[in-house]
Amino acid sequence: MTPFAGAEPLYLDANATETLRPAARAALIAALDRVGNPASVHAEGRAARSLLEKSRAAIARHFGARPQDVVFCSGATEADAMAIHGLGSNRPILIGATEHDAVRAAAPNATTIPVNADGTIDLATLDRLLARQNGALVCLMAANNETGVIHPIAEAASLCAAHGAILHVDAVQAACRLDYDYLALGAASVAISAHKLGGPKGAGALLVAPAHADALAPLIRGGGQERGRRGGTQNLPAIAGFAAALDTAQLGNVARLAALRDAIEAGAREAGAIAVGADAPRLPNTTCLALPGLSAETQVIALDLDGICVSAGSACSSGKVARSHVLDAMGLGALAGCAIRVSLPWNASDTAPARFLAAYRRLAARALRKREGFSTSPEARAVAEPAII
């Protein structure tokens, strides 16, 4: 019996989706009773419209955008696609090697910008590539979802400006975790997702810099919503929750999360793990831990049986564990198949490291035995690994 047997699941998968913030839940529920369509002219429509615009203004304020430059959509997969199709259709496209599939799938013929061994973008190669491409669109994530590694966006934006290129920033994982204003740094557009910052699933936004607002061609046409830039009735309850989540998202929480993450990482390293990307600047809540000898899938399942929710590098929608292009791009080789992502939610408890590490040490012992080809009797194994398949 572990001391945590029978406890609630320990949720350490915030980069997949954050825990809903109470203010977001309240705003979402209240907005469910707003019957009107924001496009209708009658009183109920106007009330819905007013809530929509209030939410837009709050989101714009938070990210340093003008309200008219916030284009609501279903989430960041759509926001990334909107930027790539809407701003990049007549431009050569360059994407970072560790971009999310939302970007990779929207730009299948893009030129890839390699990353350094620590996962940060290779600025010298970006400079060289931009010198050969006229007026390119560069897509770069602010922080990586698998490793938490933060890219030097300010430097990339300067290179883009110097070469007449424009920059789209996927700020999904950075929002509310890092204190940056990407539009002020020179980005042409920024993708944000509500459910990655403690809001509801199903809402996101593309923030467009004023200089590019008129150039954005719609990806989805229809009833003229969002100033003709994204057709379809807005998901008002999710958007109201999105704005409320931002109101209560405190960057002050970040130091506490970093301390919890560091405790997890130190304990895991003592047990034999390698912390991927740890030499680079990283998100405060994320660590990517490779345990040589044990597949990521086995680790995720074993931890799940111990009531701990983490992800392998990248999980596809079928729930299967796909090989991580992020870790491959960082040159991890065979280690790429042995890495899990631990990402603390905004409301992580102070007991999270102890509980995680109790289970992780058993996993690490199992990996060690596997590496050494060590085998004990089934009885002895059952004692050492009570909850592991």
Which positions touch ligand PLP (CB under 6 A)?
75-77, 80, 100, 102, 141, 145, 170, 172-173, 193, 204
Smallest gap from Cβ 197 to ligand PLP, in A, equals 10
Q: For residue 368, what are its two tokens? A: 């060690």
Smallest gap from Cβ 383 to ligand PLP, in A, equals 39
What distance in Å separates the CA atoms of residue 190 and residue 205, rounded to the nearest whole number? 8
What distance in Å separates the CA atoms of residue 78 and residue 102, rounded to the nearest whole number? 8
Residue placing its CB nearer to ligand PLP in the complex, 245 or 359: 245
What distance in Å separates the CA atoms of residue 46 and residue 56, rounded to the nearest whole number? 15
Residues known to be catalytic: 316
- C-alpha closest to that of 143 among 332, 286, 330, 312: 286
Residue type, 360: Y
